[in-house]
Amino acid sequence: MKLKSLSLPMSFVFFGCLPHWSCGKKEDDTPKAAPSANLRMAIVAGGAASTSSFNLADVPFSGFVNGSIASGTPDEMSVSITKISLANSSTNSETPIFSEPTGKPLTIEGSRVDISSFFTKIECLKEDGTIIEVPEGKTCKCGVTAAGELIQQEETTDQTGAKVLSCPPPKEGEIPPFAVLPVEQTGDYDVLKIEYLNRGEASGCVSGKFASGDATHCTKTGKDLDAAAATTADFPATGPTPATIYWSKAGKGMNSFNKSYPIGSTISITADDEESPKLTFLIDRGRLLRFFTGTTSQGPNPVEGLPGSRAYFFSTVFEDSTYVFVGQPGNIRGYRYAAYVAKNKTPSDSFPAAGSRSCTSNCSYVNGWMTIIEDKDGKPFAVSMMPDDDNSFTVSKGSNALPNKPGSIDSSKITVNSDKTWTLQYSLFGQSGKGLAGTFYKLNPELAVGTSQTIEMEAEYNDSQPTQPFRTWGEVTLQRGL
């Protein structure tokens, strides 16, 4: 999905009487309205459709077997937000820019994020920053084509067979709609804070290769953690219907949760600024929808109390799959990956040299989804990885976050090599030597959608002893899906 950069327009608002106008009195003592200060924010989504055959392990390293978890992309989802604030980490100051105490649902349909019913004011703009006037009977909610025309909704059929209007799938070169958020307090900010309601909704299907064979399971209304215990037979292979999802890692353990997003560079909010700062909020849907088979007594996240011995859909990775950065992404890429890597190597086992990292003994399969974001000039600056089953040999999970700042982005962790390939460094907790830190080597950015390549990887990981990490290496087959 290609999104072009914008140069935003300047708006002038005059209050009172100008000297050369005849206004009926010499002086106007009416209180003047304070100049407005705004932040523009786009919300975009990544992730390939989970119901396609692309979600199955159909790439060369197909020996991966899901343990008790299968993951995929929801077709539709909603997450409710109660508060959005800008903050300054040095002064501890905080300025609310959105508030809805009972929560307001943000809806994502496919790769479209509907902000028109969420924010009070949205704008559609051409590439040169010109604001597009929306004629009666037209909509701005779908964004703008590369040619500067408003994208209109199309009539489709929903899961119940009813006719509905929805935005078409995004195409390269489109510009998303922007929310215009007034900021009461001017100043410098380096953190965006969002408070979410834990309870949300999702609809979709996920597929996995289990020991008992290939299986697909879809969400079903009334079959969730709020209902009576269910089995895999209660989740059909077709016809998903909306179901309750708890987005926090804590499962049902809390009503709401907060997430702070380090912006990476300070933005300045100034009254009457000729170009309001722009932020992009990314929701990487690639593996947000997760299904637990209930075939083990231990749940997918027992530390937080998610139950075992029953089947249900859940999501423990939302906090690790949302990001904020300055500006607007130029392109969002998605890759299905399948790795064949060494197990239980110790620090005394040296990493093999480049070209010799293939696994030859005591190997394991790891499958997942990777998202890469480029800037408007085509340079990669963000990467996010999420395995299909992160309860099984988790060696390729995380992002290029700043140390100890989940949700942030450290673009220096992605290298454009002399041969134009990309080397991607990632970590689970944002700090090498603790948790997980790894590297994918020499990805070919010219890889077309639907085609594959094999690259090398290495990683260092541990569960509880940072001074005694394990090592792994091997080959990764990437299949581009977005």
Q: Please say whether the beta carbons of 179 and 122 come within 8 A.
A: yes
CA distance 299 to 67: 12
CA distance 182 to 200: 27
What pLDDT score was predicted for residue 11?
31
Q: What are the tens digits of pLDDT across the range 54-63?
A: 443 444 445 7
Instruction: Choose the most confident range, by mean pLDDT, from 16-25, 220-229, 454-463, 468-477.
Output: 220-229
Residue 355 identity: G
Strand extents, DSSP E, 230-320: 243-246, 256-269, 278-284, 289-292, 312-314
What pLDDT score was predicted for residue 247?
93
Q: Please say whether the beta carbons of 299 and 213 come within 8 A.
A: no
Q: How far apart are the first and last CA of the chain?
A: 7
Q: How confident is the model at residue 236 (pLDDT cuts 50, 70, 90)?
A: very high
Q: What are the tens digits of pLDDT across the range 405-440?
A: 767 788 999 999 999 999 999 988 644 445 788 999
Interior/surface letters 181-213, b for 16+ CB within 10 angstroms, e for the rest: bebeeebebbbbbbbbbbbbbbbbbbbbbbeee
- Examine the pLDDT at 28 and tell me if it is beyond 70: no
Considering only residues 10 and 381, tell me which one the structure prediction assigns the higher pLDDT: 381
Average pLDDT over residues 360-382: 87
CA distance 402 to 374: 18
Structural domains in the chain, sorted by start: 1-7+34-58+74-329 (no CATH), 330-482 (2.40.128)
- The whole-model pTM stands at 0.80
Structure tokens at 379: 């340079």
Q: What are the tens digits of pLDDT across the range 8-24?
A: 333 322 223 333 333 34
What pLDDT score was predicted for residue 175?
84
Least confident of 272-281, 304-313, 415-424, 452-461: 272-281
